[in-house]
Amino acid sequence: MLESLDRWLTILVLRIVPLWCTPNQITLTRFFSIPLIFVLYFAVSPWAGTAVFVLVAITDFIDGRLVRGRNMVSYWGRFLDIGCDLTLVWSGVGILWLDDIIQFRIDSILAWLLLLMLVREIIVFASKSYYRVRPSDVRVFKSGKCKTAFFMMGLTVLLLSTVTTYGTLIGATLVAGAAGCSLLSGIKYVRLFR
Q: What is the DSSP string of 127-176?
A: HHHHTT--GGG-PPPHHHHHHHHHHHHHHHHHHTTTTSTTHHHHHHHHHH
How many Å apart are CA 183 and CA 189, to the nearest integer? 10
Question: According to the per-residue pLDDT averaged within each range, which of 28-37, 99-108, 183-192 is highest?
Answer: 28-37
Domains of the chain with CATH codes: 22-193 (1.20.120.1760)
How many Å apart are CA 146 and CA 137, to the nearest integer? 20
Q: What is the model's pTM?
A: 0.81
Q: What is the predicted pLDDT for the residue at 60? A: 85
Neighbour-count burial for 99-132, b at 16+ CB within 10 Å, e otherwise:
bebbeeeeeeebbebbebbeebbeebbebbeeee
What is the percent of the chain where pLDDT is above 90?
Answer: 15
Q: Identify which of 81, 90, 78 has the alpha carbon closest to the alpha carbon of residue 60.
A: 81
Q: What is the predicted pLDDT for the residue at 36? A: 95
How many Å apart are CA 86 and CA 122, to the nearest integer? 9
- The three-state secondary structure class of 21 is coil
How many Å apart are CA 183 and CA 169, to the nearest integer? 21
DSSP-derived letter for residue 28 is H
End-to-end CA distance of the chain: 33
Q: Average model confidence (pLDDT) for the chain?
A: 81
Q: What is the predicted pLDDT for the residue at 2? A: 55
How many Å apart are CA 157 and CA 154, to the nearest integer? 5
Q: Identify which of 21, 184, 50 has the alpha carbon closest to the alpha carbon of residue 116.
A: 184
